[in-house]
Structure 1
Amino acid sequence: MYNHLGSIHNSSNTLYILRHGHSEANEQRLIVSDIKNGITNYGLSAKGIQEIKDSIYRLITATHTESEYIIYSSPFLRTVQTSLLVAEIILAQEIYYDSRLRERFFGEWELTENINYQKVWLEDYQNPCHKKWCVESTYEVLERVTSAVREIDSLYKGKQIIFVTHGDVAQILISGYLNQNPQSHRQLSSIETGELKVLHQPIGKIKSDC
């Protein structure tokens, strides 16, 4: 079993995906996917800080909710800095870090030019189980990220939960929510740096455009 979302469509929580803001890795056009490189280096750029502020202020303006926000984040520096900024704006009391939300591991492409993502994505489409170049497969990412979201969702009722994560992880999570094969995750509408998307809203609520 790779997709753990199951009955999450019946959840009473509103679930958001927030991709970290533009980072120093993005600025340098580098692939930084190994936690040993990304946990203490390659934080947010000035552009990324502004992206997050813009996204969260749009969220506040659009929802006007009094429900409690809960933040779960990848432990990479760029997502940690993103989640801290979010918490500061929405006055969240605590941030939880879950390694299952971490960046997809790109194996031999680590610290190379980010144009190499394209090579991996082409292989993804041909074979979602591929581990060419020691890359983490789309099914492995789907397994860990959907298990995290399902487990976290089950802990709460009627809350606003923000998952702070990375590009491929977000795309693959959306594939899982739509019950689609993760091989086509790059054919979905791209989630850009600093972009916040609603993954799930309880039935009866109007989906806000954040």
Structure 2
Amino acid sequence: MSSTLQGSYYHWRNRYLLMRHGHSQANEQGLIISSPERGLDAFGLSETGERQLDEVVENWVWPTPTRIVHSDFLRTTETARRVADALGVPMEKDERLRERYFGEFDGQKAALYEGVWVLDDRNAEHAEHQVEPVARVAARMQAVIEAWEARVSGETILLVSHGDPLQILLTAIAGKPLTGHRDQAPLEPASITLVDKSA
């Protein structure tokens, strides 16, 4: 597990808002949509998700972001766009914020997540069923923050991503074993978590 973020955690130059996309058509249908082939152009926000985002932007209680960086999947792009339009903030995509790839289970029922999480709890490096390893997800998610830390200072950056990647990132930031990423409280659709460890 990369410890780069842990070492610099109390000296970040920026603060970060971590946002899970709003309720999606994949959530509505109970499907795992984790590949670019399925997720880039389909399975956007559901009507429930659109209502969630309307409520979030209408009742915004977090620091106003200076920029929004989002996964390029449709559901995250639509989420980011609603916030960007409401707050007048620029947005840009970053493929490193994509959903965790669930391999053989992509396109299948969401009930299959549980079996993957059981395997995660044993080994953060496992790639059984061609699932993307937790450690790899942690590395790419941390790399996004590392890149922004090197690029700008004093900003509030909203990162719009997906449930598993964000929980894995929060676990890494806390310096906890990645095998326990499901010990994090589940992130609800359209939820926002403030991580502020700027100097």
Which band: TM-score by shorter chain?
over 0.9
- Structure-1 separation of matches of 2:100 and 2:62: 31
User: The residue matched to 1:154 in structure 2 has which SS?
Assistant: helix
Question: Does 1:118 pair with 2:114?
Answer: yes
| Residues 1:74 and 2:71 are matched in the alignment | yes
CA distance in 1, matches of 2:58, 2:16: 17
Which residue pairs with 2:176 in the alignment?
180
2:154 corresponds to: 158
Indicate conservation of the 8 Å contact 1:25/1:32, yes or no: yes
Of residues 44-53 and 83-92 in structure 1, the stretch that sits farther from structure 2 once superposed is 44-53
Q: 1:129 to 1:72 in 2, by over 3 A?
A: same
Q: Shift of the alpha carbon at 1:62? A: 4.9
Deviations 1:70-127 (A, max 9, x none): 10000000000001001011111x2111110000000000111000000000100011
| TM-score, reference length from structure 1 | 0.89
Superposed structure 1 runs of 4+ greater than 4 Å apart: none
Distance 1:155 1:8, change over 3 A: farther
Which residue of the partner structure matches residue 41 of structure 2?
40
- 2-structure distance, mates of 1:166, 1:47: 17
Q: Identity of counterpart residues, as a percentage? A: 32
Unaligned 5+ residue runs, structure 1? 204-210
Secondary structure of 1:190's match? coil
Q: For the Cα contact (< 8 Å) 1:3–1:143, is it kept in 2?
A: no
Q: In the alignment, which of 162, 165, 186 is matched to residue 190 of structure 1?
A: 186
For 1:112-163, what per-residue CA distance to the aligned partner results, in whole angstroms no more than 9, with x for missing partners? Answer: 1000000000100011111110000100101111011111132221111000
1:54, distance to aligned residue in structure 2 (A): 2.5
Q: Aligned partner of 2:47: which letter?
A: A
Q: 1:58 to 1:202 in 2, by over 3 A?
A: farther
The aligned counterpart of 1:52 is 53
Q: 2:198 & 2:182 partners in 1: Cα distance? A: 26
How far apart are 1:200 and its partner, in Å?
2.4
Q: Partners in 2 of 1:84 and 1:134 — Cα distance?
A: 32
Q: Which residue, out of 136, 141, 164, partners 1:140?
A: 136
**d(CA) in 1 for partners of 2:36 and 2:173?**
26
Q: Distance in 1 between matches of 2:147 and 2:10?
A: 14
Query: Shift of residue 58 of structure 1?
Result: 3.7
The more displaced of 8-17 and 19-28 is 8-17
Measure how far apart 1:38 and its partner are.
0.2
Task: Report how far residue 201 of structure 1 moved.
Answer: 4.1
Amino acid at match of 2:130: C
Q: Which runs of no fewer than 5 residues in structure 2 stay unpaired?
A: none
* Cα distance in 1 for residues equivalent to 2:145 and 2:172: 11
Q: Distance in 1 between matches of 2:14 and 2:125?
A: 31
Kept after mapping to 2: 8 A contact 1:3/1:147: no
